[in-house]
Amino acid sequence: MKKRFFGTDGIRGKTGEYPITPDFFVKLAYATGLVLTKHHKSKNNPSVVIGKDTRISGYMFESALEAGFSAAGVDTYLTGPIPTPGIAYLTQKLDADIGVSITASHNPFGDNGIKIFTKNGTKLSEETEIEIEQLLDEALVLVTTAKLGKARRLDDAYDRYIRFCLNTVSNELDFKHYKIVIDCANGATYHVAPKIFRSLGAKIITINNSPDGLNINEAAGSDHPESLVQAVKKNQANLGIAFDGDGDRILVVNNDGSIIDGDQILFIILNYFQQQQKLKGGLVGTLMTNLALEEKCAEMNISFHRAKVGDRYVAEALREKEWMIGGENSGHIVLLNYHSTGDGIISALQLLSALEVNKMSLSEALANFSLYPQQLINIPIKEKLDLDSQIIKDLVKEAEMIMEGKGRVLIRPSGTQPLLRIMTEGPEKLLVVKAANYLAKAIN
C-alpha cells in the first residue's frame, strides 16, 4: 500500500493545514494506540514517551497526542522540549512501547510534525506506518474508564539524556583548552547542549539559545550558519557547532569560518574509529554522499555502501550489514555503537574526541581529504515527475557531457517538502555549476 501521510522521516507540514491539525493528531495517537495494544503482551497499559522541540504549536499537539493515546488506553510520559534522539533513548530506558517527538526538524516555526520511534529506539518500519494509516478512519471508541491512559511529567528527562551523552566520551579526555561556539537554533538542544559541553571543561559560547516558540531555526542552526561563522571568528574559537531544531544533526564551522559538512565529519570520525580499532564493518552513505568520501574509503580499504536519502535508511542499512557508522552530508550521523539513531550532540562529542586524541585541529584532520564540488538546486513541484522517463534520462546524459564525463548527476524528489532536488558533482566546479543550471532550466 502507498502511504498517505508518513514520509521519509515521520509526518510534517504547515500547522493548521491538514494533516497538521489537532484533530488529526488525536486520531493519529488513537490509531497508533490501537496498533500498540494489538501487539502489547503485558496486562498493564502500553506506554509512550512524548517530547517536542520549542515551536509554540508543540503545546497544542502534545495535548492532542495525550488525549488520543489516553482514549486508546496508552499511558504517556511527557518530557517537554528535548532533542529528538533523547526521545529515542528515553523510550528504551523507560521500557516504553514507542516514543514520539513533536517536531518539524529544520523547518520554520510555522511547520510541525512528528517522528516516531519503536521501543528499541529505531524509526518505525514502513509496514507499521501503513498499519497505523489503515486505522486512521476508525471511529474513536474510548476504552473503559478504568483502562484510560494516565499521563505524567518526566521531570528528570534532561538529566537522564545528559548523562547518556556524557557516557559516550572517555573520562581520560580533557577539553579544557577548547573554545567552542554552540548554535542551538533556538530549538530542542537549548537546555542540554551547553550543559554537556561545559561539563567536559570546554569554554562554551552560546548563540541562538533563547527560544520563544516563534524563532526556532530563524536565521539560526545548521541550515543557516551565517551567525555561527561570525561568532567563531569574533570569539577566535577553535570551532563552532550548529544543531538543527530538533537536535538530530549538526554542521561544524572551522576557526577560519569555513563550513564542515556531514561527509567531512564522517571522515574524521571514521578515521578515528579505525585508529582506535573501534571500527566494525564499513561506512554507509547515501545517494547524496560526496564521491570523494567513497574514494577515500576505498583508499583506506573500508567498504562503502550508498543507501536512499534519509537517516532511517542509513540506520536500516547499518543494521542489515551489522556495521556501526554512517550518515548524510546534511549532518545526520548515525553511530550505532553509541545510539540507535542519529544524534547531533553525540556526533559532536565523537568529533571532538577524535581531534583531542590526535591533538589535531579541524584543518589538520582534513588536510588529506578534499570534497568534490557539488551544486544543489531545489525546484518547487506541484505533482510527481516521472524520473525514469526517457526525456529525463536524456537530460542527465547531456549534463554528464557538460561535465566531460567526470561528474555525477542525481535527481530526486524531497522526502519532506514539495521539491525536486537536482545535484551535480565533479572535479571541475564551473562545469558542475553549469550542468546543474542546465538541468534546472530544462526541467522547469
Assess contact for 420 and 385: CB atoms under 8 A.
yes
51 - beta bridge partners?
80, 101
Q: How far is the C-alpha of 128 from the C-alpha of 113, rounded, in Å?
A: 18
Residue 122 C-beta-side C-alpha neighbours within 13 Å: 14
Q: How far is the C-alpha of 298 from the C-alpha of 278, rounded, in Å?
A: 18
Q: How far is the C-alpha of 20 from the C-alpha of 22, rounded, in Å?
A: 7
Q: How far is the C-alpha of 360 from the C-alpha of 354, rounded, in Å?
A: 8
Element (H, E) at 312: helix 311-321
Assess contact for 411 and 394: CB atoms under 8 A.
no
47 - beta bridge partners?
75
Residues with Cβ < 8 Å from 231, sequence gap 6 or more?
A: 181, 183, 205, 207, 237, 240
Torsion of CA 361, 362, 366, 370, to 10 degrees: -140
Q: How far is the C-alpha of 109 from the C-alpha of 285, rounded, in Å?
A: 29
β-strand pairing of 333-335 with 11-14: unpaired
Torsion of CA 396, 397, 401, 404, to 10 degrees: 80
Q: How far is the C-alpha of 22 from the C-alpha of 101, rounded, in Å?
A: 15
Torsion of CA 50, 218, 182, 170, to 10 degrees: 30
The catalytic residue among 105, 222, 330, 340 is 105
414 is catalytic: no
Q: Is the dihedral of CA 347, 351, 356, 362 positive or negative?
A: negative
Q: Which burial class, exposed, middle or buried, applies to 227 when counting CB atoms under 10 A from its CB (0-12, 13-18, 19+)?
A: middle
C-alpha triplet 267, 268, 274: angle, nearest 5°: 85
| Phi–psi pair at 389, nearest 5 degrees | -70, 155
Q: How far is the C-alpha of 327 from the C-alpha of 284, rounded, in Å?
A: 7
List active site positions: 105
